[in-house]
Amino acid sequence: MDELKIPEAWRVLRIQSELVDGIESLARLGGAVTIFGSARIKTDNAYYDEAMRLGGILGKEGIPVITGGGPGIMEAANRGCYGTATASVGLNISLPTEQDPNPYQNVSLTFRYFFVRKFMFVKHAVGFVIFPGGYGTLDELFEALTLVQTSKVRPFPIILLGSEYWQGLVEWIKTTMLSQGCIEESETHLFSVVDDAESAAKIILQHARMLQAQEIAE
C-alpha cells in the first residue's frame, strides 16, 4: 500500500510493529559493532578488503557485526563475519531503487522507516566503524556523534577508517567548527581515525573488555 494513503493511526501501528520485530529479533544479540560505508564500493577496492578483515576479526572475537545489509562495504563486513560462529546481521531498508540484501547475513531484517532502522543500529552498539561513504554514511556518523555528545547513549568508540578519505572533514571539524565555537575542544575527541582493520578492532575490543569488567564489578 502507498505509504501516503495510510491513515495516521495505522502508520503508528506499522512503526510499532517494526520496533517490536526488530527488538525481538535481536534480543539475544548482545554487544555488537555497527559498520557503515558506501554501497558503491566494489570488491576490488582496498576498503572492501579492510571491511571484510574487520568483520572477520570481530566475528572471531565473538562480537556480532551489524550493517545496513546492502552491497559494498556492508557486504564486505557481513562477509567477513559470516565465516565465523558469530552473528552477521543486516538491517535492510525498503527503497524505491531497492537493491537485494547481500547473501552474508545470518540475521536479516527489512525496515520501511529509516528512523526505526537507525534506532536498531545504535541499540546494541559497543562501537561504530565508519568507512568511506556518501550522505547516508555521514548521516549515521553525525547521529552517533550527537548521541554520545548529548549523553543519550553510553559512550562508545566512533572510528573513521581511512585517514586520506576523512582528512578534509576532520580538518574542518577541528578548525572551522571549533574556531567558530560550534563545538568544544573536548568534542573533537569523540571519534578516532585509523587506517586498517586491526587498529579499529583493537579500539573496539578494549572498549568491549572494559564494559565486561564493569558488568562483572556491578
Looking at 65-196, list the stretches that DSSP marks H as alpha helix, in order from N- to C-terminal side: 73-82, 114-123, 135-149, 163-172, 178-179
105 within 8 A of 80, measured Cβ to Cβ: no
Domains and CATH numbers, the chain: 3-217 (3.40.50.450)
Nearest CA among 95, 135, 136, 90 for reference residue 3: 95
pLDDT at 170: 97
Q: For the residues 93-117, what does the mean pLDDT come to? A: 87
pLDDT digit string (tens) for 165-179?
Answer: 999 999 999 999 999
pLDDT at 3: 57
Nearest CA among 156, 136, 135 for reference residue 145: 156
Residue 161 pLDDT grade (very low, low, confident, very high; cuts 50, 70, 90): very high
Task: Tell me the pTM.
Answer: 0.91
Nearest CA among 22, 33, 30 for reference residue 125: 33
Residue 97 pLDDT grade (very low, low, confident, very high; cuts 50, 70, 90): low
pLDDT digit string (tens) for 3-20?
Answer: 556 677 778 888 898 999
DSSP single-letter state for residue 31: S
Residue 46 pLDDT grade (very low, low, confident, very high; cuts 50, 70, 90): very high
Q: For the residues 173-194, what does the mean pLDDT come to? A: 96
51 alpha-carbon distance from chain centroid? 12
20: phi then psi, degrees, rounded to nearest 5? -65, -45
48 within 8 A of 70, measured Cβ to Cβ: no
pLDDT digit string (tens) for 103-113?
Answer: 999 999 999 99
